[in-house]
Amino acid sequence: MEKLDKADKEILQLLQENCRLSAREIAKKTGSLTTTVYAKIRRMEQLGVIKGYHAEIEGKTVDRGVKAIVLVSFDYHSGKGKALSQRDIAKQVASFAEVQDVHIISGDWDLSLKVVAENVDKIGQFVIDKLRKIDGIDKVTSNLVFGTEKESLQINI
């Protein structure tokens, strides 16, 4: 992976704050040429440094106001005679529309999920009717989120 220079990092910071800024606006803020900023952004996209651009949506406004952090553990050997893969189960869980985040973790649990839904009943239906039906899932604990102080995709550069 190529090293990022100071200008790259400055551009990334500005894009994290507002991904709708044009190359021209970023150039003004950084004192760079517009063509240079445009080329740096394209290069960082191609390198996979910039993975995408997203709108941040308030869940309550689209009927997805309930969040839960769900911890999952599984039996690695319940897969019909063959060992189960933590990565494969994580991919399977990630395919559900209710799941926003899937993290493979260490410790007493194997996965940490952020799940969003219309209401508590829908969270329960997800856990009972989808998650627990995945081969190998052993234990699940669901923690409802009462409030969120900080939620961000930004990385301090």
Does residue 66 sit in the same domain as residue 94? yes
pLDDT tens track for 56-79:
888 888 878 999 999 999 887 765
Query: Helical H runs in the chain?
Result: 6-17, 23-30, 34-46, 86-94, 120-125
Q: What is the pLDDT of residues 86-135, one digit of tens each?
A: 999 999 999 999 999 999 999 999 999 999 999 999 999 999 999 999 98
- 36 & 70 share domain: no
Number of H helices, E strands in the chain: 5, 4
Q: What is the pTM of this model?
A: 0.82
8 Å CB contact between 103 and 88: no
Q: Quick one: 16 and 74 in the same domain?
A: no
Residues 6 or more apart whose Cβ sits within 8 Å of residue 23: 34, 37, 38, 41
Q: How many domains does the chain have?
A: 2
